[in-house]
Structure 1
Amino acid sequence: MTNTANTSAIACQVISVEALTPGISKVVLRPEQAADYSAGHYLQLVLSENDKRPFSIASSARSELLELHIGTPAGDTWSSAALSHIEQQFRAGLPVMAEIGLGQAQLRETSNRPIILLAGGTGFSYVYAIAQTLSAASASQPVFLYWGVRHQDALYYQSELTEWARQHKQFRFIPVVQQPGPGWQGRTGLVHEAVLADFVSLEPYDIYIAGPFAMAGIAREAFAEHGAHREHMFADAFAYI
């Protein structure tokens, strides 16, 4: 499924809004009719006919609920306005409208190539959906999930992913903190550089990327120089950079 202007908006009941961190909220929606999407697709929240705001879907396509992770850092009116709209509808008992199943960077489920999932910040929601889908399908190929954040308190699903890695030998979770605080014993620096340091060549891998557009562009070029095939790198940001 690809991004298309003909996608119809679906009414979605707001089930919950809760803080994951002081600047990131988890929103859970229930579509009032079946929503057709795959892991790695995104939705557009319809604030008005001329104001539609995209957010990655963090839940598996097998779920009847849609999970979103909405970051609202200080000074960010774009995401804050979307979250405020959701909260207003929630308080009023009214649905929000969303166009669901957009994008071109969904999981290629027929591929058996090993996988690298790379996320910056709340781009994690995109790779989280893919990781859940691979886990549910008992995928046998190695999966490496790299999650880069500025501060370690933004790793809001760290304990869950660490447990996944403990239970599934083919799954590895590598958190990378750019500005670590006291006591952090994990990887530090830029997340894409951690990937480059860990692999001699990226030629065999399918690579899925989500995060700030600048990060996606830098990662694409660096990974290509490190052997990755451009046709095996996927990110919706690539359509805009």
Structure 2
Amino acid sequence: MNAIACQVVSIEALTPVVSKVLLAPSAPVHFSAGQYLQLCITATDKRPFSIASIPEQTLLELHIGTPEGDSWSSSAMHHLRQQHALAAPVQIEVGLGQAQWQTDSDRPVILLAGGTGFSYVYSIAMAIAAANQDKPVFLYWGVRTKEALYYQAELEQWAATNSKFRFIPVVQQATAAWSGRTGLVHEAVLEDFVSLDAYDIYMAGPFAMAGVAREAFAEQGGHREQMFADAFAYI
């Protein structure tokens, strides 16, 4: 796969540990909503990141988390910041992964994200909206603390103006100030649906979460061929 040069347009802090990165490709790029790109730090050091934007948009949007102790993501962010400061391009490979949105499916959709896995489901949700598909979409976003819900206001506004879109944030370490759902995000899905038989399910987040969710959803009627996650290739 040929690498494409991109200018780092901006780097914005979404939370103390998550940054939004906007990239401007030097040539048209081709990908499907739900696919990912690789940041090529060197010819052999390539770091995959979900794409939060959709193909119709000019810029590529990434949400990169750099929690304390995560040298893998931190070194990728260092490379991006360094190239941004130098106004120098970065190299990417785009259009990777097998968990993209299934455009030919008429089934309602459940989107499940843990942490910055949100960028993957956000892209699919936007693509469904851009295609004017009149189908129910349920977006579940699990985080440790409510401060990690960096697109909460946007999603709540979206849900308020679209009767077919529901946003369900789930906080693990909730304080008394949080009045929403708590616990594990995949368990919120299990509580809300008696059967998952009729749904396409897309998920992104820690591999352990994807594995547990896949098994639990299958026990509740979900079909493995209607569940999509790039993590499935590794677990």
TM range (shorter): over 0.9
2:21 to 20, 23, 27: 27
1:127 partnered with 2:121: yes
2: CA distance, partners of 1:60 / 1:36: 10
Determine the C-alpha separation between the residues in 2 that align with 1:167 and 1:109. Answer: 23
2:222 and 2:3 mapped to 1: Cα distance? 37
Structure 1 residue runs of 4 or more that deviate by more than 3 Å after TM superposition: none
Give the distance between the partners of 1:61 and 1:208, measured in 2 at CA.
Answer: 18
Provide the residue aligned with 1:39 in structure 2.
33
> What is the rounded CA distance, in whole Å, between the counterparts of 1:168 and 1:110 in structure 2?
22
Matches within 5 A, 1:70-149: 70-149=64-143
How far, CA to CA, are the matches of 1:185 and 1:154 in structure 2? 15
Superposed, 1:1-241 pairs within 5 Å as: 7-241=1-235
Q: Distance in 2 between matches of 1:47 and 1:15?
A: 17
Q: What CA deviation, in whole Å up to 9, does each residue of 1:15-59 have, x standing for no partner?
A: 000100000000000000010001000000000111000000000
After TM superposition, give the deviation of residue 182 of structure 1 in Å.
2.7
Moved more, 183-192 or 134-143: 134-143
Deviation at 1:174, TM superposition (A): 0.1
1:138 is displaced (CA, Å) by 1.4
Q: Which amino acid aligns with 2:12?
A: E
The alignment's TM-score, normalised by the length of structure 2, stands at 0.99
CA RMSD of aligned residues (A): 0.5
- The letter of the residue matching 2:46 is K
Whole-angstrom distance in 2 between the partners of 1:218 and 1:32: 40
Amino acid at match of 1:30: A
Q: For this pair of structures, how many residues does the alignment match?
A: 235
Deviation readout 1:57-86 (Å, 9 max, x if unpaired) = 000111010000000000000000000000
User: Which residue type is aligned with residue 90 of structure 2?
Assistant: V
Q: Matched residues in 1 for 2:20 and 2:175: separation?
A: 25
Secondary structure of the residue aligned to 1:48 is coil
SS of 2:119 mapped into structure 1: helix
Q: Percentage identity across aligned positions?
A: 66
Give the TM-score, by structure 1 length: 0.97
Structure 2 alignment gaps of length 5 or more: none
3-state SS in 2 of match to 1:25: strand
Query: Which segments of 5 or more consecutive residues in structure 1 lack a partner in the other structure?
Result: 1-6
CA distance in 1, matches of 2:44, 2:114: 28
